[in-house]
Amino acid sequence: MKAESLSIKGIVSVLGTLAVCVSAGFLIFVYVATGRVDLALAALLYMSALYVFMGLAMFLIRKKVVLFSKKLCYTIDRMMDGEKEPPRSFEKETLLSRVEHKLGRLFAMMQEREKSLDDEKQSLQEVVSDISHQVKTPMANLKMLSSTLLETELSGEQRTAFLTTMDGQIDKLDFLLSSMIKMSRLEIGALTFTKALTPLYETIAEAMGAVFLLADKKQMRIKVECDEGLYLPHDKKWTAEALFNILDNAVKYTPAGGQVSVQVTKMEMHIKIKITDTGRGIAEQYHSQIFKRFFREREVYSIEGIGIGLSLARKIIMLQGGYIMVESSSGAGTTFSVYLPNT
């Protein structure tokens, strides 16, 4: 018979049978060896008392095991029922308290994992909802324009104008979806940053190059103060993306002939990248909202944009251990200060 197949009652029965056989054999041996009945009776009484004591001890142990099992099952049931915190035993240095401590740690890990999954699910739902909401307008415009082209007799000039408008809507959709994919991948942790000790000047130059044409078109002055020998451990590609989004806003919301300046300062713990423009500024009540996805002030609805750039920039900088601060007021320009750890 395999030990795994024996129950507690089976084990007790086997041990009891063995004890009776051993006791009977011992008593027979004592009687045969000595020939004295009184010694055999004394041995019988002693062994009987010993078995009574052992039986009582086994009964108490079994009772303790049953109680332990009940408490353990109760704790597991509470965990399975979704209790926020499983019941704990405050007995010191007992088997139950140690097991409950381990179960508590396991439960905390399960709760943390469940919360992480819930957060990811909520984030995904928000992204899907945002995409659906933002895509509706350009899709409706495209449908209306295509219907007009199909159903209406238009001159060559009118058709060209309609097609140009449609091309603009397609570009907007492409930019929107590209930005949303980047944001969703950042939020669910699907992207990893590769930090390398590279010149910060090159990263800023890459970001500036992407906004230069628009700035030149608006006859704006661009001023950069950055030590070309300043090296910083950072992800060049994504940091350039974050800086571009801030610079793009600076150029976009600054009137023609204005100025955008970038100043880099090395601090004890961080590198500070200060981006200042002479644009329309941001009212103080909006400072806490401008980093929200798709937030835009009503006053700038006439300017092309979808309101995702600053949200994306903040996420990129935060995931590298940095942060962004803003100083601005209506009509007085805006300063974004990007802080990145220099170690």
pLDDT band at 188 (very low <50, low <70, confident <90, very high): low
- Is 306 within a domain? yes
Domain check: are 170 and 208 in the same one? no
Q: Residue 282: which of 327, 223, 329, 228 has the closest Cα? A: 329
**199 or 135: which leads in pLDDT:** 199
Domain check: are 201 and 281 in the same one? yes
Q: Answer whether residue 142 shows pLDDT above 80.
A: yes
Task: Give the gyration radius of the chain's Cα atoms.
Answer: 38
Q: Angle 203-331-286 (CA atoms, 0-180°, nearest 5)?
A: 75
Domain boundary pick from 187, 206, 236: 187
Domain check: are 229 and 329 in the same one? yes
pLDDT digits (tens, 9 = 90+) for 233-244: 999 999 999 999
- Determine the residue type at 23: S
- Is 313 within a domain? yes
Q: Residue 274: which of 207, 186, 336, 200 has the closest Cα? A: 336
What pLDDT does 177 receive? 77
Domain check: are 206 and 178 in the same one? no
Q: Angle 200-201-205 (CA atoms, 0-180°, nearest 5)?
A: 120
pLDDT band at 223 (very low <50, low <70, confident <90, very high): very high
Domain check: are 50 and 174 in the same one? no
What pLDDT does 260 receive? 94
What pLDDT does 306 receive? 65
- Is 93 within a domain? no
pLDDT digits (tens, 9 = 90+) for 269-311: 999 999 999 988 888 888 888 887 766 666 665 566 666 788 8
Q: Answer whether residue 84 shows pLDDT above 70.
A: no
What pLDDT does 133 receive? 66
- Is 222 within a domain? yes
Domain check: are 145 and 20 in the same one? no
β-pair partners for 242: none
Q: Answer whether residue 28 shows pLDDT above 90.
A: no
Q: How many other β-carbons are positioned within 10 Å of the β-carbon of residue 36?
A: 11
Distance (Å, rounded) from C-alpha 163 to C-alpha 157? 10
Whole-model pTM over 0.75: no
What pLDDT does 230 receive? 94
Domain check: are 202 and 281 in the same one? yes
Full domain range(s) for residue 142 = 128-187
Q: Residue 240: which of 217, 215, 262, 218 has the closest Cα? A: 262
Domain check: are 178 and 315 in the same one? no
Domain check: are 213 and 330 in the same one? yes
Q: Angle 253-257-261 (CA atoms, 0-180°, nearest 5)?
A: 70
* Number of structural domains in the chain: 3
- Is 135 within a domain? yes
Q: How many other β-carbons are positioned within 10 Å of the β-carbon of residue 324?
A: 20
DSSP states of 35-73 as a string?
A: --HHHHHHHHHHHHHHHHHHHHHHHHHHHHHHHHHHHHH
Range of 127-141, 207-221, 282-296 with top mean pLDDT? 207-221
Q: What is the average pLDDT across 152-165?
A: 83
What pLDDT does 94 receive? 67
- Is 294 within a domain? yes
Cβ(256)–Cβ(294) below 8 Å: no
- Show the tokens assigned to 281: 């500024």
Q: Answer whether residue 25 shows pLDDT above 80.
A: no
What pLDDT does 49 receive? 79
- Is 286 within a domain? yes
Domain boundary pick from 166, 187, 208: 187
Domain check: are 226 and 296 in the same one? yes
Domain check: are 144 and 207 in the same one? no
Give the rounded percent of residues in the chain with a pLDDT score beyond 90: 25
**Chain centre distance of CA 321:** 15
CATH number at residue 251: 3.30.565.10
Domain check: are 30 and 68 in the same one? yes
